[in-house]
Structure 1
C-alpha cells in the first residue's frame, strides 16, 4: 500500500479481498507505522477512516457528494473508504463511479478504497480511467501458518479485555479447529472470534456462576467451534464415534439394508476425518426404481449431518438447457440478478456441512454439470461474482433411474452387485441430452463419484415396513393437531401393504412406495373424514378413532357412524369414534 501511495500517477490504492482477511487492520497498521516515523513521504499526512459498509443505496449518492465536497477543501490527507462498494452502488442499478473519478483527481488527497473481490470485479475491473490512477493490492486469506502469529498478537489484547490467560496450545487449537470446521468465514477473523467467544463464555461463568478459573482450556475452544459449526464436541475432540448410524438411517428407509449400511460406513469415515483432503466429504450415486427410498435416505442423512438439518434438493430436470447453468453459478455481470450470485455457492456458504441432492442427474444438460467437475475434484466452486465456496465438508448425492428395468431384472436373476453397478455405469454413459445429443455424463464426471449404491426393488415385507412408517406419521399428525388418537388394526395395515405391493408390481416397479401414500389417504384419512361428516357430534367428542377391516356381508350389523368403501380386495373400512 505504501508503495502505491508513493507513486505519482497511480497514487491511490484499491485494497481487495474476502471479508475477515484483515484489510481494515492492514490500513490501521499502515497508519500506525506512519505515525511512528516510517514512510517519511507520508509523515505529515492525516489518515481518515470512512466506514461505508452500511450506506444504503438511496443514500449513497448524496453522501458521496458531501464527502467529495469536504475532500475538495482538504490538504495532504489519506482517506480510507472501508466498504467502498456500498458507496458506489446507487438506486435502480445506477452507480456513483463518476464521483469516484472526480475524487481521484483531487491533487492533495490520496484514497485507499477497501472493497470485496466481487465489488471490484463488478464495478471497477473494466474501468480503465480509474485503474490508471489506482494501484490494486490484493489481500489473500492467510493460511494456518501465517494466521498463528496474528492470533498470538491479538490474543494479548483479548487477555487484557477479559482478564484471563489464553495459553499458546489453546490458541493453536483454535486455529486448527476453525480451519477444519468453520468454512463460511476467513482467516484470521474466524480464529480470533473463536477465542473471543470462549473468553466471553468463561467471563460469564466467573461472574454469574462463581467460576474461579482464569485460564482458557482446549475444551472451551472445542465448545465454541461446536456451537458455530454444529459438529458434535466429541468429533472435534477426536473421540471415536460410536453412534448407531444404521439404526438412525434405517428408521426412515425400509428394505434397503445394504444402502443404509453403506451410507453409515461413509458417515463414520467423514466423522472420523478419514476423507480425501480438498475434495467433498463424499460424492455418492443412488440408483434404483422410483419410490424405493433414495430421497428418504438422503433426507435422514441431512437430518443427522447437515448444519441446517435440511436436504438441499436440486431437481436436475429443471436444468435441461445450456444457459440453465446460471441456476448453479449465477448470471454474468450486466444481467439482472447478477448480484444474487450462484445458488450453489450461496447454499454452500450458508451451510458448509450441507447435504445436496442432485435428483435425476441424467436429465440435466451437460454444460450444467461442468462446474461440478472442478467442485468434485478440487472441493471448491466460484460463481459469476467471483465469490468462492468450499465443499470440503459437504456431501453430494446424485440419483438416477437410468436402466431401472434392467436393474430390476438383474435383481430377480440374483446377479452379483458388481455386474449391476457396471450396467448402471454403462447405462449412464449412454444417456444423451435430448436437445444437443451430447452425452450428459462424461467418463471424467463418473470417475469423480466415490460410491455407487444400488437400491433394491421393494418386496411385500418392505411395503409393510413403509406402511407402518407412514401410518405412524399420520397418527402423530392427528394426535398433535387434532388431539385424537388414531388406532389402525393389523389386518388393515397388512391390506394396505399388500395392495401397495400389487400396484408396484403391475407398474413394473415404477410406483415404489408412493402407492402406499395414496392408499393411506383413501383407506384411512378419507374414511375418517366421511365418517365424521355422518356423525359430526360424536366425532367432535371423540378422543379415539378406530379403523378396522370388515366384510361387506356384515354391513347390516355396522353402527351408523361406520362408513365403508369398496376396494380391490372386496373389503370395507369400519370407523368407530369413542
Structure 2
C-alpha cells in the first residue's frame, strides 16, 4: 500500500480508528504500524487523515509524542439539527435506492429533531441516520409481508375442502358439488388478490414519513412520541376515571397527576424539566404508593414499570454513590447507580422516592439538577435524561399525631377543618425539613386526605373483586352483605397504619376460612357463596361477631350469576342481595 501511494503521489490516505495503529503488529524485536508510518509522515510523503475519539486520542495518541507531533489535531464537533437535516438530504438518494422507499422531507426533519431531543447517549448525525435507515427497512419488510386477507382466503379454502370431503363421505353429492364450486371461487379470488398485491403494492414505492420515524424512536426508547390517536386521546381525557378504578378518593392527587401527563402528551410542558414532580404527603396507608403504581400501570400497562427507590436505604452521606454511581477509583464504579441505570433503561417512567425525608441532605442537592434541568450526570460521566419521567416523592412528615381517635378510626364527614389543620402542619414540617430551593422546584405538594368510612367500604369491594375473580375459575361466585363489608372495614382500618391492614384482614377473615370450606367440600363448584355476619348489629366494636359462609346452587336460568357475583363484589355499589 505504501509503495502504491509513493508511486501515485495523488492519494490521500484516510485511517479510521487511528488509535488502533498504536501497538498494532508489535512483537518482541519488532515495531508497530504507527512507527512504520512516522518516517514517511515526517518527510511529507504521506497525506494522511486519521479519525479517532477524544478519549482514545488522549489514551493512545498523546502518549506517543512523536506520532502526535506529526498530526495536526482538528476537533470535529457535533452538527446542529439544521446541519443534520442537510446531511440527511444528501444521503437520501442512497437510502431510497437501498430500501426502495421514498423518504419525505418531514421524515428527515423528524429524524433530526426527535433524535436530538430523546436520544442522549449518542450523537448527531449518526443517531438520525440510523432512524432513517431502520424506518426504511421496516417499511420495506412490512410491504413484503403478505396481507392478512390472503391468510383469511387460505382458511376459507381449507374449511370448504373439509366440508366437501365430509359431504362426499356422507354421500351428499349435491352439497359436495356446491362446496366444490365455492372452493373454486375462493381459489380464483385469492389468486386475483395475490396478483393485485404483487403487481400493485410491491411496485409502488412506499413512503417513509414522520410517523414511521416516531414509531422507530418509540421502539428504541419506550417513549410514545408518535401522534396521538383518537383512542389514546379519549383514554387520556378519561384518565381520572381510569385511576379511580384503583384509587379510592384522593381527588386532588389524581387530578394533579392526570393534568401533568396530559400536558406532556400534548407537547406543552417545559422541554427541559421532568414531566411532573410531586410531593405526596399524608398519613400512612391512604394511597400514596398505590397511586404511583396505578399511574405506571396506566402509562405502561404494568405495575413493574414503576421505578421505586426506598429512601430509607440512603440515610448516610456515602450511600448517595449507590443511587447515582460511585466515582472513579471506588468500589462499584463499573456498576453504575441504582437510579441512573434504571432511568437510562426506562427513560419514560414513573420514579417513586418513597419516604424522601429519610434520605441524607446530600441526595437532595443532587436531585436539584434533576428537578430543574431534567438531567443528571452519573459516576461514569454519562448524562441521564429525566425529561420524560414523572418524579413522585412520598413523605409522612407532619402526620405523627394523626392517630388520635376520630370517630372509631374513621375521619368524620365534617372533618374538613381537621384536614386543613393537617395540611398546614404538613407544609410547615416540609419547610423545616427541606431547603427552599428544593421545594420551589416541585410542581405541586399534595396532602392526601384521611380515609372515610365509605371509602374504606369501597376499598373492601375493590379487594374482594380479586378473590371473586379467582373463584370464578372454579365456577364459584362470591357475594358479601353490607354487614360483612362494614365489619371488614372496621377490623381492617387502623388510624396509624391506614388501609394497609385491610388486605391482611380480608386474607385472615375471608380467604383463610373460605379455603378451608372449599377443602372440606362445604362449598364447591356451581355455587354462590354468600358472606354474612352473626352476633353484630352494625354498631359497636363487633368483637364477638363472626363471618358466616353459605353456599347456594346457581339457578339454571341464570348461568352468568358468577359474573354478576364477581361484579357486585368488586363494584362501588353494595353487593348485598
Q: When the two structures are superposed, what TM-score results if normalisation uses the length of structure 1?
A: 0.70
Match status 1:281 vs 2:267: no
Q: Secondary structure at the match of 2:379?
A: coil
Match status 1:156 vs 2:87: no
Q: State the partner residue of 1:357.
A: 352
Task: Pick one of 240, 265, 268 that aligns with 2:262.
Answer: 268
Q: State the partner residue of 2:426.
A: 424
Q: 1:375 to 1:46 in 2, by over 3 A?
A: closer
Q: State the partner residue of 2:503.
A: 517
Contact 1:313 1:357 in 2 (8 A): yes
Q: State the partner residue of 2:371.
A: 376
Q: Secondary structure at the match of 2:280?
A: strand
Match status 1:72 vs 2:31: yes
Task: Pick one of 1, 8, 15 that aligns with 1:47.
Answer: 15
Task: Pick one of 317, 335, 339 that aligns with 2:330.
Answer: 335
Q: State the partner residue of 1:85.
A: none
Q: State the partner residue of 1:249.
A: 243
Task: Pick one of 313, 319, 335 that aligns with 1:324.
Answer: 319
Shift in Å at residue 297 of structure 1? 0.8
RMSD of aligned residue pairs (Cα, Å): 4.1
Q: State the partner residue of 1:490.
A: 481
Q: 1:219 to 1:270 in 2, by over 3 A?
A: closer
Contact 1:278 1:392 in 2 (8 A): yes
For residues 75 and 340 of structure 2, what CA distance do their matches in structure 1 show? 22
Contact 1:240 1:272 in 2 (8 A): no
For 1:143-292, list aligned pairs within 5 A.
Answer: 143-182=80-119, 185-208=122-145, 209=147, 210=197, 211=201, 212-228=204-220, 229-231=222-224, 233-235=226-228, 243-292=237-286
Q: Deviations over 1:388-436 (max 9, x none)?
A: 11111111000111001467899865249887655323202323xxxxx
Shift in Å at residue 545 of structure 1? 6.3
Shift in Å at residue 318 of structure 1? 0.7
For residues 459 and 301 of structure 1, what CA distance do their matches in structure 2 show? 23
Instruction: Give the gaps of 5 or more residues in structure 2.
Output: 39-45, 148-196, 554-577
Q: 1:369 to 1:75 in 2, by over 3 A?
A: closer
Q: State the partner residue of 2:435.
A: 442
Q: Deviations over 1:334-356 (max 9, x none)?
A: 22321111222212211111110
Q: State the partner residue of 1:573.
A: 548
Q: Secondary structure at the match of 2:497?
A: coil
For residues 135 and 247 of structure 2, what CA distance do their matches in structure 1 show? 40
Q: State the partner residue of 2:167.
A: none
Contact 1:467 1:496 in 2 (8 A): no
Q: Deviations over 1:94-114 (max 9, x none)?
A: xxxxxxxxxxxxxx9x99685
Shift in Å at residue 488 of structure 1? 3.0
Contact 2:282 2:447 in 1 (8 A): yes
Q: When the two structures are superposed, what TM-score results if normalisation uses the length of structure 2?
A: 0.70
Contact 2:23 2:32 in 1 (8 A): no
For residues 207 and 240 of structure 1, what CA distance do their matches in structure 2 show? 32
Q: State the partner residue of 1:414.
A: 416
Shift in Å at residue 168 of structure 1? 1.8
Contact 1:45 1:77 in 2 (8 A): no
Shift in Å at residue 64 of structure 1? 10
Contact 1:331 1:341 in 2 (8 A): yes
Q: 1:550 to 1:371 in 2, by over 3 A?
A: closer
Shift in Å at residue 327 of structure 1? 1.6
Q: Deviations over 1:353-412 (max 9, x none)?
A: 111001111111101222101111111101111111111111100011100146789986
For residues 131 and 522 of structure 1, what CA distance do their matches in structure 2 show? 76
Shift in Å at residue 142 of structure 1? 4.0
For 1:135-146, list aligned pairs within 5 A.
Answer: 141-146=78-83
Task: Pick one of 462, 466, 483 that aligns with 1:473.
Answer: 466
Q: 1:360 to 1:333 in 2, by over 3 A?
A: same
For residues 298 and 369 of structure 1, what CA distance do their matches in structure 2 show? 20
Q: Secondary structure at the match of 2:206?
A: coil
Q: Deviations over 1:9-40 (max 9, x none)?
A: xxxxxxxxxxxxxxxxxxxxxxxxxx9xxxx9
Q: State the partner residue of 2:529.
A: 546
Shift in Å at residue 159 of structure 1? 1.0
Q: Secondary structure at the match of 1:286?
A: strand
For residues 52 and 419 of structure 2, what CA distance do their matches in structure 1 show? 57
Q: State the partner residue of 1:31.
A: none
Q: 1:222 to 1:390 in 2, by over 3 A?
A: closer
Range moving further from structure 2, 258-267 or 293-302: 258-267
For 1:298-317, list aligned pairs within 5 A.
Answer: 298-305=292-299, 310-317=305-312
Q: 1:306 to 1:190 in 2, by over 3 A?
A: farther
For residues 343 and 66 of structure 2, what CA distance do their matches in structure 1 show? 36
**Count of aligned positions:** 466
Q: 1:459 to 1:48 in 2, by over 3 A?
A: closer
Shift in Å at residue 315 of structure 1? 0.6
For residues 115 and 32 of structure 2, what CA distance do their matches in structure 1 show? 46
Q: Deviations over 1:214-239 (max 9, x none)?
A: 332333334334444351633399x9
Q: State the partner residue of 2:185.
A: none
Contact 1:183 1:352 in 2 (8 A): no
Task: Pick one of 288, 298, 306 that aligns with 1:294.
Answer: 288
Q: 1:267 to 1:215 in 2, by over 3 A?
A: closer
Q: 1:372 to 1:153 in 2, by over 3 A?
A: same
Shift in Å at residue 295 of structure 1? 0.8
Q: State the partner residue of 2:183.
A: none
